[in-house]
């Protein structure tokens, strides 16, 4: 449609660009050419905002071009989303997810995710803070399902406490399997393209889990994943390693006893940090 509209209007792309610029809209000739040929489509917020102005410049009815732009949901992701039962094949995990409302999960793009795990002086988990930014691919998503597990099933599961951006909905536990899942309910359903920031804490019991690794299973691509592990000064590990499904990387702690890994343009899969302890007990000298 865009090609026919430009030809019917009798304007060169340079003139279309100039008309848009006069309206305070910046779109390059190369971009207009890509849109006209179908090589690319408007997708970014600024590009979509330019479409109504382009319709006016070309003398089209309002919405004529915008209706030809595929909705975000219809655009194929560069990297496929992993199915929930592939990412979480364990019966206990599948059981938890089956009792929670996961219908919107694939319709929420993960933009950024930041995990901060704290290890106490007793070498056990003291707490976890999770902060994530998501964008709706369609109108309607009103919740995000989260799930956390621990290998140490001799202690109680952590409690989930919302910090911002949502309310705590249904919570499901499997104490014998060390799994807790919950629905984080947004304050209102999202519109397509709208973002939401949610943050919550996992408050560990006393004592907390004695796990020596933190694993994050990423279902879908995201712009950035950051994992930090903070160790108490009296619980410095002997070694710390970051890992993905393909490689292992030693991690050096900073002066505040923190180690981290950061993935940009993260792809679906498993990643995390694991650590080992010296044989001496916490708080004693080697």
For the chain, the domains span 2-69, 84-276
221 vs 244: CA distance, rounded Å:
14
Which pLDDT score is estimated for 204? 95
Q: What is the CATH number of domain 84-276?
A: 2.60.40
The residue count of the chain comes to: 286
190 vs 142: CA distance, rounded Å:
6
SS3 (DSSP) at 214: strand
Return the HEC string of 21-81.
HHCCCCCCHHHHHHHHHCCCCCCCHHHHHHHHHHHHHCCCCCCCCHHHCCCHHHCCCCCCC
- pTM of the model as a whole: 0.72
Whether 84-276 and 2-69 are alike in CATH topology: the answer is no
Q: Is the dihedral of CA 72, 74, 80, 82 positive or negative?
A: positive
144 vs 102: CA distance, rounded Å:
7
- The class of domain 2-69 in CATH terms is mainly alpha
Which pLDDT score is estimated for 77? 52
pLDDT along the chain (286 residues), means of 10: 81 87 86 76 73 85 72 52 82 92 93 97 98 93 96 96 98 96 97 94 96 95 96 97 95 97 93 92 51
Residues 6+ apart with CB under 8 A from 190: 136, 139, 140, 141, 142, 196
Secondary structure (DSSP) of 68-127: GSPPGGGSPPSSPPPPHHHH--SHHHHHHHHTS--TTGGGEEEEEEEEEEEE-TTSSEEE
SS3 (DSSP) at 221: coil
Which pLDDT score is estimated for 235? 96
In 3D space, the residue among 217, 219, 171, 166 whose CA is nearest the CA of residue 196 turns out to be 166
CA torsion 156-161-167-172 (nearest 10°) is -10
SS3 (DSSP) at 133: strand
């Amino acid at each position: 449609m865009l090609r026919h509209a430009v030809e019917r209007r009798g304007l060169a792309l340079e003139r279309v660009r100039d008309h848009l610029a006069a309206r305070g809209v910046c779109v390059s000739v190369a971009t207009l050419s890509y849109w006209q040929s179908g090589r690319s489509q408007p997708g970014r917020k600024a590009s979509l905002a330019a479409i109504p102005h382009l319709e006016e410049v070309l003398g089209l009815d309002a919405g004529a071009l915008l209706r030809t732009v595929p909705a975000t949901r219809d655009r194929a992701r560069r990297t496929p989303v992993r199915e929930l039962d592939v990412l979480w094949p364990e019966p206990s995990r599948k059981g938890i997810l089956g009792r929670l409302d996961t219908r919107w999960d694939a319709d929420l793009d993960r933009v950024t995710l930041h995990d901060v795990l704290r290890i106490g002086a007793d070498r056990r988990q003291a707490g976890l803070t999770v902060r994530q930014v998501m964008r709706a691919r369609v109108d309607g998503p009103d919740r995000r399902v989260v799930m956390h597990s621990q290998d140490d099933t001799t202690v109680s599961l952590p409690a989930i406490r919302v910090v911002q951006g949502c309310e705590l909905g249904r919570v499901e536990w499997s104490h014998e399997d060390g799994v807790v899942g919950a629905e984080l309910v947004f304050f209102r359903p999202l519109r397509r393209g709208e973002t939401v920031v949610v943050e919550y804490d996992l408050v560990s019991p006393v004592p907390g889990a004695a796990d020596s690794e933190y694993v994050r299973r990423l279902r879908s691509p995201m712009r950035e994943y950051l994992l930090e592990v903070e160790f108490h000064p009296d619980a410095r590990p002997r070694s710390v390693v970051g890992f993905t499904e393909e490689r292992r990387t030693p991690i050096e702690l900073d002066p505040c006893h923190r180690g981290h890994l950061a993935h940009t343009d993260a792809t679906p899969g498993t990643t995390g940090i694991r650590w080992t302890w010296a044989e001496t007990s916490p708080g004693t000298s080697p």
